[in-house]
Amino acid sequence: MRIPAFFAALALSALAPSALLAHVKLAASTPTAGSEVKAPKAITLTFSQPVEASSAAASIVMTAMPGMANHGEMVIRNFTASWSSDGRTMTLALKKPLPTGTYEVRWQAAAADGHLMSGTVTFKVG
């Protein structure tokens, strides 16, 4: 009979740690999504759980510049990335503050479950 095997599998899955079942999510960022800030010198991304640093990446892209219609995307390369000791916060330290414009921080990361997740944080520098 297969029903007891089903209940055994169900019971074992209930005992699995929830951290292994949950995908990493962005819990917070500085600047916050949708905000307007003055010339930031760093951007932080804080995740819902520790991230496998080897799976993580982030890019900063200027998507609009005041006074320039049809401004194409411009990748910002003047930063270095580092991680907090708990593996939850990535800091993008800028060598120069960001100039006025609209930006996206595009990230990807995986936690212990191994599922690669991605997202975007958009903000303005004024």
Which residue ranges form the domains of the chain, and what is each CATH number?
22-125 (2.60.40.1220)
Which pLDDT belongs to residue 3? 54
Q: What is the mean pLDDT of the segment spanning 36-59?
A: 96
Is a pLDDT exceeding 80 seen at residue 75?
yes
When pLDDT is cut at 50, 70 and 90, the band that residue 12 belongs to is: very low
Structure-model confidence comparison of residues 12 and 94, the more confident one: 94
Is a pLDDT exceeding 70 seen at residue 18?
no
Mean pLDDT of the chain: 87
Which pLDDT belongs to residue 123? 98
The amino acid that residue 104 corresponds to is E
Is a pLDDT exceeding 50 seen at residue 50?
yes
**Residue whose tokens read 């759980």:** 49
Is a pLDDT exceeding 80 seen at residue 88?
yes
Q: What is the mean pLDDT of the segment spanning 14-26?
A: 65
State pTM to two decimals: 0.81
